[in-house]
């Protein structure tokens, strides 16, 4: 048996493969739930209800969607150019750090001035954090996957140092926390949800236009397909790499500001919630399509929120709920494999090989 690249499938065939993956996930997940002594139909219905069943649950699902969606857009820009940005977590933390600096030291500024300043600082900080491996990649051809991954730990430890030492709240009675933001450093709410959801929708539109209807978007696509072709076409590869990576890191850095200002109300080591790594999956599952990123991110957030709900409602252990989510995710990812590849059985026959 060997793996062979599949000829391009029609849209109907792709839909059927993905539907089969969803059905398979539900069946295997159902078997797992039966082993636990639960009714699969009841649990699945409750997961949907837990994500969408009330305004409070819907709001929590949207709050989970916002950072995942925006981070997915950020890494997607880099992935389009085949630059493997695995450092979104670090860019989020550095963006949150820069935004928090202005929130804590310039709280006297009016909200209309302070919030854009925090957002700009977060984007610049996140962009610079990704420019470091991008520069080494463009100059020396270093491996960006390892470089960006290692920078995650540096950013996390820097924020940990701030929380436990340099920025530790003297009024926190010894508890390791950074002072909470003043009211004018907190994101306003629209329809009961912080304004991050508006920013997310706007970024979907801007990313679509940028990647599909601009010169730089075309250059990104060409470099992603072949650097030799891009060089032959006269594209300044180093310039495009640096500009694109600054944008990618900047978008991820903005997530740090949104989380600190819209959710946590301060800077902390728990701020990202691991979305920097989850965004890698959602970006790929969306086919690097900005519009699909929004849909996939919302479904992922609903799955996560629904998983939290069934833990409380049915007293299912957190580990069991995570296994159920992982089973569903595994089958969805497997569908992407079978869209592109297939297994071929080969049998030796005489001097040749019969397939």
Beta-strand relationship, 193-194 and 2-5: unpaired
Confidence (pLDDT) at 242: 92
Q: Is residue 22 part of a domain?
A: no
Chain segment 207-247, per-residue pLDDT in tens: 999 999 999 999 999 998 888 888 888 899 899 999 999 99
Return d(Cα 342, Cα 1) in angstroms, integer: 10
Rounded to two decimals, the pTM is 0.90
Chain segment 165-204, per-residue pLDDT in tens: 999 998 888 889 999 999 999 999 999 999 999 999 999 9
Give me the residue label for tokens 């463009």.
138
Residues 6+ apart with CB under 8 A from 330: 25
Q: Is residue 345 part of a domain?
A: no
CA 21 to chain centre: 22
- Domain membership of residue 279 as a residue range: 65-299
Q: Is residue 168 part of a domain?
A: yes
Q: Is residue 312 part of a domain?
A: no
- Asked if 47 and 306 count as a contact pair (C-beta separation under 8 A), the reply is yes
Joined tokens for residue 339 = 């869209």
Confidence (pLDDT) at 185: 95
Q: Is residue 10 part of a domain?
A: no
Beta-strand relationship, 352-354 and 2-5: unpaired
Number of domains the chain contains = 1
Chain segment 54-79, per-residue pLDDT in tens: 999 999 999 999 999 999 999 999 99
Q: Is residue 282 part of a domain?
A: yes
Percent of the chain with pLDDT over 70: 97
CA 170 to chain centre: 34
Q: With 90 as the cut, is the pLDDT of residue 333 above it?
A: no
Confidence (pLDDT) at 70: 97
Q: Is residue 60 part of a domain?
A: no
């Amino acid at each position: 048996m060997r793996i062979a690249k599949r000829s391009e499938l029609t849209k109907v065939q792709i839909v059927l493969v993905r539907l089969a993956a969803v059905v398979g996930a539900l069946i295997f997940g159902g078997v797992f739930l039966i082993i636990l002594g639960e009714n699969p139909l009841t649990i699945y219905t409750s997961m949907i209800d837990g994500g969408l069943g009330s305004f409070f649950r819907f709001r929590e699902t949207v709050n989970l969607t916002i950072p995942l969606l925006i981070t997915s857009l950020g890494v997607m820009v880099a992935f389009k150019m085949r630059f493997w940005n695995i450092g979104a977590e670090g860019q989020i933390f550095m963006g949150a750090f820069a935004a928090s600096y202005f929130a804590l030291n310039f709280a006297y500024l009016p909200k209309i001035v302070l919030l854009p300043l925090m957002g700009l600082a977060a984007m610049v900080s996140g962009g610079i954090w990704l420019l470091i491996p991008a520069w080494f990649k463009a100059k020396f051809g270093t491996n960006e996957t390892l470089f960006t991954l290692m920078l995650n730990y540096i950013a996390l430890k820097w924020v940990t140092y701030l929380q436990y030492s340099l920025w530790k709240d003297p009024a926190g009675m010894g508890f390791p926390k950074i002072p909470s933001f003043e009211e004018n450093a907190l994101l306003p709410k629209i329809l009961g949800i912080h304004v991050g959801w508006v920013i997310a929708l706007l970024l979907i539109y801007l990313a679509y236009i940028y990647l599909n209807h601009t010169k730089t978007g075309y250059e990104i696509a060409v470099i992603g397909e072949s650097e030799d072709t891009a060089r032959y076409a006269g594209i300044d590869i180093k310039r495009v790499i640096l500009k694109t990576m600054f944008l990618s890191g900047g978008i991820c850095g903005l997530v740090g500001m949104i989380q600190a200002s819209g959710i946590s109300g301060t800077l902390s080591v728990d701020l990202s919630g691991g979305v920097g790594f989850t965004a890698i999956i959602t970006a790929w599952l969306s086919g690097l399509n900005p519009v699909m990123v929004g849909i996939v991110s919302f479904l992922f957030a609903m799955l996560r929120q629904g998983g939290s709900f069934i833990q409380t409602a049915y007293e299912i252990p957190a580990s069991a709920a995570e296994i159920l989510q992982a089973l569903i995710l595994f089958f969805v990812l497997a569908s992407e494999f079978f869209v592109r590849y297939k297994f071929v059985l080969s049998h030796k026959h005489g001097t040749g090989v019969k397939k």
